[in-house]
A and B are shown apart, each in its own frame.
Chain A
Amino acid sequence: MMKPETIIRTENLSIGYGHKVIMRDLTFDIPKGDIFIIMGGSGCGKSTLLRTLTGLIPAHTGRIWIQEKDFINARPKEKLEIIKRSGILYQGGALFSSMTLAENVALPLQQYTAYRRDKIEQIVSFKLALVGLAGYEDYYPSEISGGMRKRAGLARALALDPEIVYFDEPSAGLDPVSSKNLDDLILEINKTLGTTIIVVTHELASIFAIGKNSIFLDKTTQTISARGNPAALLENPPNEQIYEFLTRGAQYEKGTK
């Protein structure tokens, strides 16, 4: 069997804010076309890991390779090249509130492509339609619901046809149905566009619905304590913490499932 191509690889990464280290010795591979879940309890450093992977905060030590390129030691220009090929959906959508949805989605296109105005308009309409917001071009972010804002944020993240899309807590603040719809959308995008998807979440329903692969960040040991397919992890929990996490706190007894 051919080994799937690795799109992101980290080695002994330690992350944190300022002098404070939150997680250390993070070594993992993300295969191309995967849906990769970064899970863990609140405050364990999931979002920090995401911010490190996207270059928003520097890593303490360790290496990150994104598409075979050293991300940490990259020069600003190379970093930009890498960043251009990834899209990020922030927790609240992070749409620019002074711009309409169309302007929001158009911004990365205007920045990085030489397309003419009408071509950009067409792409914007298409991306908005992909996330189920056809016809909402001229709405401002404040005029639509939270779930729609997230989908618009996703349209913006997808504007440049990225190879990697990061999701920061996609289900946060969404009702169960919207959350399910967003999960379906994630699966669709992964399937149809072949995009590698990295999701930071602690929402169990989402984890089991979309996750093909995962790592579990353990707050007590400050590193990865379990990895693999979430459903398989539930079948054969390697330790107590992951079992409790995946079962919403059921008591873990050795030898029993």
Chain B
Amino acid sequence: MVEVKTAGERVICTLKGVLDGTTRFDVSASHLRDKKIELVGEDIEQWNTDFVVVVFNALKYVPKAYITYTGLPEGMEQLLRLAFQVPYKQEENARPQESFLERVGDWGIRFCRSVKKGCGFIHACWVSCLRQLSGKAVYRAKDFWMVLGDCGPKSILIVSLISFMVGLILAFVGALQLKTFGAQIYVASLVTIGMTRIMGAIMTGIIMAGRTGASYAATIGTMQVNEELDALQTMGISRTDFLVLPRINALLLAMPILILLSDFMGILGGSFVCVLFWDIPLSEYIKYTINSFDIINFLVGVFHGLVFGVVIALCGCYFGVNCGRNADSVGTATTNAVVYAIVWMIVMTGLITLICAKMGI
């Protein structure tokens, strides 16, 4: 039980009996203003730290010089002294509420800065590429083989599986529609043209963005956390030479081969459905596939792949290099790398399609 008595400049709080978290300690703010608080213990039978919590929260704005302790149990007094040793930090540092316009402005500034930063990064990579062509770029062949091993052979299984399934779905859905015209056999053309021109590239791109782009961002981001990027900079080695070039090169080399594989697996998936579900003879399917295969379509697909490779590598490396210095920001960097890679791949697909349409390809 706590009794509060006000006597002039002093507020005497008498603590007695059983004191715990349920004990009420009512002091109003007007009680506390510029007054000396005396905590007096009388016949305390029992107390625990829950009660200390109550006292602290009641008195936390009172400066420690204003509080005196008499006859309190030793532990309680020590705990309270410890809790009051540093004055309570008042909310003077709280961020002022920003107005709507201010937030829009901030967003605009941030947006412009990130565009500038992104363009700067692309420029640095371009300069590195030129340096590579003139044989002056610094990177280790071993790093290139390592990333190539990771984005090439190790991606074969997943690319094959997904492309097979996509071919299968294309054939299944296409045949359902074409059946109404009795034109099921054209499923073979649908799958071939669809896979070689765009689907093979897009599926490979998305898989590689999730697999390789994310791994680039995480690896480089962790290097940032470990100060390895600082070490590179203070050794005077360009980050874009040392980290980005091998990764762009590896993806540029791996993407066309993976797309070739993806196209093949998609067509295989299509044939699987046609032969098993729609009773089209395999020889017919192969015939129509060969008839509708167009090297231009295939090359457009491969070109998509090359562009996607650059996009994935740039996004992965950009977010890795600009990663913050804690574990959380590595996660953010990885997420951003994948999201931006996919968005930019779609944008690039649109652009390429537009250009191809204009050029009549």
Contact = CB atoms under 8 A, between A and B. Distances in A.
Contacts of B146: 98
Contacts of A112: 236
A94 B237 contact: no
Nearest to B146: A98
Contacts of B140: 103
A112 B234 CA distance: 13
B7 interface: no
Contact of A84 (B138, B143, B228, B236): B236
B322 to A, nearest CB: 14
A67 interface: no
A138 to B, nearest CB: 14
A65 to B, nearest CB: 18
A61 interface: no
B227 A94 contact: yes
A51 B25 CA distance: 52
Interface string A101-125: 0010001100110000000000000
B234 A97 contact: no
Contacts of A97: 223, 226, 228
Interface in A11-27: none
Interface residues of A, number: 23
A1 interface: no
Contacts of B227: 90-92, 94
Given A94-B228, A98-B143, A98-B146, A107 B237 contact: yes
A134 interface: no
B230 A111 contact: no
A2 B140 CA distance: 48
A144 interface: no
A88 B143 contact: no
A56 B236 contact: no
B138 A111 contact: yes
A51 B233 CA distance: 11
B235 A111 contact: yes
B230 A90 contact: yes
Interface string B218-256: 000001001110110111110000000000000000000
A83 interface: yes
Given A98-B143, A98-B146, A56 B228 contact: no
Interface string A40-55: 0000000000010011
Interface in B53-93: none
Interface in A75-90: 80, 83-84, 86, 88, 90
Interface string B3-47: 000000000000000000000000000000000000000000000
A94 B236 contact: no
Nearest to A156: B231
A80 B230 contact: no
A92 B231 CA distance: 11
Given A98-B143, A98-B146, A111-B138, A90 B231 contact: yes
A56 B235 contact: no
A83 B236 CA distance: 7
Q: For the complex of A and B, list the 9 residue pairs with the smallest distance between their C-beta atoms, beginning with the closest.
A: A94-B227, A94-B231, A90-B227, A80-B236, A94-B228, A83-B236, A88-B234, A108-B235, A54-B234
Interface of B: 138, 140, 143, 146, 223, 226-228, 230-231, 233-237
Given A56-B234, A94-B231, A111-B235, 12 more contacts: A51-B230, A54-B234, A83-B235, A90-B227, A90-B230, A94-B226, A94-B227, A95-B228, A97-B223, A97-B226, A103-B140, A108-B235
13 contacts: A55-B234, A84-B236, A88-B230, A90-B227, A92-B226, A92-B227, A94-B226, A96-B223, A97-B223, A107-B235, A111-B235, A111-B236, A111-B237
